[in-house]
């Protein structure tokens, strides 16, 4: 099921829609009740992987249909945005983040709000969203608009979905974390609800994010078939 824009559209809908459908609180709760939390996580992960592989393959096989021609200056946008996205991705890789899988007792940690979570409680989703939006500015073909548009929707709407799911799942235990952090980067800091935890972010994670960006930038001709150099 590849080789056409219809196939790509179906794959994007399956990947993005599957996340929202299986993550919907009532559906998620029903499935966990029926098959158990561990089996649900396994099925969810497997379905996401299969849909992602299908989406990537469909994008690679989709015909090129130009919709608009991005100006040359837009090539600078990914080069400015992607270092930030990579830093957010590396700093946000934390399996103990309250926006990831957690146990209720983890909310008793007095240092729960730390590191990149003082900037935003959804660093990984911001990384994906910024990556998608940045590439939308330089790719004017229909297939790219479907792919990156779908991923942008998944990232930014996903933040709202995750908050709603955690609010329903943990109730009062979630409230202090939500009140002391923000979706929008730096908002909680500017409003005085938390302080920037630079020590929790650290030079190592910052350097790791920039190193990841440098590697992706250099390998871009082999990954995407085009150079990322904005000239």
- Tell me what pLDDT residue 95 has: 56
Number of Cα atoms under 13 Å in the Cβ half of residue 220: 15
Higher-confidence position of 130 and 227: 130
Q: How far is CA 14 from the centre of its chain?
A: 16
Number of Cα atoms under 13 Å in the Cβ half of residue 151: 25
**Do 182 and 72 form a contact (C-beta atoms < 8 A)?**
no
pLDDT tens for 149-194 read 999 999 999 999 889 888 888 888 889 999 999 999 999 999 999 9
DSSP 135-167: HHTT--BHHHHHHHHHHHHHHHHHHHHHHHHHH
Boundaries of every domain in the chain: 1-63, 65-223
Helix axis angle, 37-61 to 5-23, nearest 10°: 160
pLDDT tens for 59-101 read 999 999 999 999 999 999 999 999 999 999 999 986 567 776 5
User: Does 106 score more than 80 pLDDT?
Assistant: no
The single-letter DSSP state of residue 66 is B
pTM: 0.90
pLDDT tens for 195-228 read 999 999 999 999 999 999 999 999 999 988 888 8
Alpha-helical runs (H) found in the chain = 5-23, 25-35, 37-61, 76-92, 123-136, 142-170, 175-179, 187-190, 198-223
């Amino acid at each position: 099921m590849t080789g056409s824009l219809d196939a790509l559209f179906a794959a994007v809908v399956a990947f993005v829609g599957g996340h929202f459908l299986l993550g919907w609180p009532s559906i998620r709760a029903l499935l966990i009740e029926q098959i158990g939390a561990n089996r649900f996580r396994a099925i969810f992960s497997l379905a996401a992987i299969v849909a992602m592989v299908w989406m990537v393959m469909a994008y690679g096989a989709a015909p090129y249909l130009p919709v608009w021609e991005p100006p040359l200056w837009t090539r600078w946008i990914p080069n400015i945005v992607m270092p930030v996205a990579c830093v957010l991705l590396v700093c946000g890789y934390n399996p103990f983040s309250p926006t990831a899988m957690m146990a209720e007792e983890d909310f008793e940690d007095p240092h729960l709000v730390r590191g990149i979570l003082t900037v935003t409680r959804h660093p990984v989703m911001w990384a994906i969203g910024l990556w998608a939006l940045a590439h939308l500015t330089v790719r004017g073909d229909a297939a790219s608009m479907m792919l990156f548009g779908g991923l942008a929707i998944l990232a930014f709407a996903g933040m709202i979905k995750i908050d709603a799911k955690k609010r329903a799942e943990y109730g009062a235990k979630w409230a202090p974390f939500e009140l002391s952090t923000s979706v929008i980067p730096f908002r909680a800091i500017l409003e005085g609800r938390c302080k920037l935890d630079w020590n929790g972010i650290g030079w190592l994670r910052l350097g790791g994010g920039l190193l990841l960006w440098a590697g992706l930038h250099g390998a871009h001709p082999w990954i995407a078939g085009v150079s990322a150099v904005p000239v």
